[in-house]
């Protein structure tokens, strides 16, 4: 009797698929309204921050979400195991959304909620991807890429419905109602995960040797040191939200460099081949960071463009600014099956570096389109179809980089860093998000069209450079050389 499968993949993928879908509903629902909530005036029940500051906050919030994936991977590898880490991460995320849904004028519950969501996502996000990677045997690279593409579909199902539902509920200053909808989404996802846990037995179990000695003490010391530093900074009278976002960005960059040095310069029983593959991975990491720097401006810079410069009407139906965040996942759902089949068909003829380079050039071209739209917006609101086009162009880049990046990380990760390196992959998001959040300051010296063109140029140049070094990177990664073209 044949085992039950999920679109030809192990059935456990169905449980991970549904859990990720609802968790992403909660994440993208919050993300779709967070920047406009922060920029809204207190009279509109918002925090009253400037657009520039809101962009920086959303950037470092997104960055911290991904930065904590690194300790989240370590906890799973050494203490909880991936399966339990996903559960407790989801529980913390649920508490965070509940905190943000509390309808009080004080922002304390908002900051507490964001902190809880950051902590929970660090446990859930990298480890659920680890479990997907472990569904496939070594050498089954094409099927693994296809599986990750299907898994990526779950992300975008949640991402599509969340901005529409949460944006509609939050309209008219009902922000906390929108935050409450995100909490409901996470509650459903957690329930799905518990109900499907029998399919995951043996997958992501705790390590045989649990290493928790001193963990609580180190975490407490780290939290205390951070609190003391922030308290001293606040007492000096120089602490502002803007300066805090800059400081967090610098810390993220230092942590990234420090962690790669830790992997490469320490012994960790890495083989010579693993070290060479890590050197190749660093280049892919840098390329991904540039990609996310531009791509993840959607919930801030592009959201503000939708709010201020766009005629929010589709087929004669009015939409909210948050709804424009649903364009991208809609296109991804359309094209994920195409790309999943494409990677299997192409096999080794198109390399990972080539896919990354294509993604960089594509995301750069999307901002060329944004520059044109911004120039036209100088004489009045432009059609929302400009944003539709931007997100359509970006989709081809994202599907060439994001699911492929998850897959290549599981392949290149040294044995001693399997869970942790997926955390490092998410740090590429952190680097890109934090720097992208700070790019809003360029608006002080650049016109809006020039702003988009500067970022577009950076991405295109980086993509072309990656194309030039594809052969060297493939050798370092031990990827198969391209097969002869079929006539």
Average pLDDT, the chain: 83
pTM of the model: 0.85
How far apart CA 181 and CA 106 sit, in angstroms, is: 20
CB 268 within 8 A of CB 416: yes
Q: How many residues make up the chain in this entry? A: 487
* Mutual angle of helices 352-376 and 272-295, in 10-degree steps: 10
Instruction: Quote the pLDDT of residue 481.
Output: 45
Contacts of 203 (CB under 8 A, 6+ apart): 12, 82, 83, 131, 134, 135
**CA of residue 397 relative to chain centroid, distance:** 14
Alpha helices (runs of H) in 101-140, residue ranges in sequence order: 108-133
Q: In Å, what is the CA distance from 68 to each residue of 106, 262, 467?
A: 26, 17, 31
Residue 174's SS3 state is coil
How far apart CA 469 and CA 114 sit, in angstroms, is: 40
pLDDT in tens, 42-67: 888 889 899 999 999 999 999 998 88
pLDDT in tens, 90-106: 899 999 999 998 887 77
pLDDT in tens, 384-441: 999 999 999 999 999 888 877 877 877 777 777 765 676 678 789 999 999 999 999 9
**CA of residue 474 relative to chain centroid, distance:** 26
Residue owning tokens 């400009």: 386
Residue owning tokens 């179990």: 205
Q: In Å, what is the CA distance from 337 to each residue of 85, 329, 331?
A: 29, 13, 11
Is 239 exposed, middle or buried, given 0-12, 13-18 or 19+ CB atoms closer than 10 A? middle
Contacts of 403 (CB under 8 A, 6+ apart): 145, 148, 149, 151, 152, 339
Instruction: Quote the pLDDT of residue 80.
Output: 79
């Amino acid at each position: 009797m044949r085992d039950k499968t999920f679109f030809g993949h192990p059935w456990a993928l169905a449980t991970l698929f549904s859990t990720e879908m609802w968790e992403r509903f909660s994440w993208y629902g919050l993300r779709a309204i967070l920047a406009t909530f922060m920029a809204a005036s207190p009279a509109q029940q918002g925090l009253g921050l400037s657009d520039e500051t809101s962009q920086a906050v959303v950037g470092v919030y997104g960055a911290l979400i991904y930065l904590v994936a690194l300790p989240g991977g370590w906890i799973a590898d050494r203490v909880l195991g991936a399966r339990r880490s996903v559960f407790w991460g989801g529980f913390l995320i649920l508490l965070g959304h509940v905190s943000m849904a509390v309808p009080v004028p004080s922002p304390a519950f908002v900051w507490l909620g964001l902190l809880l969501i950051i902590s929970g996502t660090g446990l859930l996000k990298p480890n659920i991807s680890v479990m997907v990677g472990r569904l496939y045997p070594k050498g089954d690279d094409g099927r693994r890429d296809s599986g990750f593409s299907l898994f990526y579909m779950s992300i975008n199902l949640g991402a599509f419905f969340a901005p529409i539902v949460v944006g509609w509920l939050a309209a008219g200053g009902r922000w906390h109602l929108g935050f409450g909808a995100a909490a409901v989404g996470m509650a459903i996802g957690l329930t799905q995960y518990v109900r499907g846990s029998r399919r995951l037995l043996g997958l992501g179990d705790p390590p045989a040797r649990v290493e928790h000695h001193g963990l609580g003490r180190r975490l407490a010391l780290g939290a205390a040191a951070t609190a003391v530093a922030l308290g001293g900074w606040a007492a000096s009278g120089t602490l502002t939200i803007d300066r805090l976002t800059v400081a967090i960005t610098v810390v993220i960059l230092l942590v990234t460099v420090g962690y790669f040095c830790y992997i490469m310069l320490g012994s960790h029983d890495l083989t010579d081949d693993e070290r060479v593959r890590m050197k190749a991975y660093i280049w892919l990491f840098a390329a991904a960071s540039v990609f996310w720097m531009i791509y993840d401006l959607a919930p801030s810079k592009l959201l503000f463009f939708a709010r201020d410069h766009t005629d929010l009407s589709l087929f004669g139906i009015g939409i909210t600014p948050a709804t424009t965040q649903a364009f991208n996942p809609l296109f991804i759902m359309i094209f994920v099956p195409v790309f999943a089949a494409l990677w299997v068909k192409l096999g080794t003829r198109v390399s990972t570096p080539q896919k990354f380079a294509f993604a960089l050039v594509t995301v750069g071209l999307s901002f060329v389109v944004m520059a044109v739209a911004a120039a036209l917006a100088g004489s009045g609101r432009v059609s929302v179809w400009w944003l539709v086009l931007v997100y359509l162009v970006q989709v081809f880049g994202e599907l060439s980089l994001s699911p492929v990046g998850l897959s290549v990380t599981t392949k290149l990760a040294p044995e001693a860093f399997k869970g942790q390196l997926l955390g490092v992959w998410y740090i590429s998001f952190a680097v890109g998000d934090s720097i992208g959040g700070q790019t809003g300051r360029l608006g002080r010296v650049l016109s809006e069209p020039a702003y988009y063109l500067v970022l577009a140029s950076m991405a295109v140049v980086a993509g072309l450079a990656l194309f030039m070094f594809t052969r060297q990177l493939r050798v370092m990664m031990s990827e198969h050389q391209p097969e002869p073209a079929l006539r």
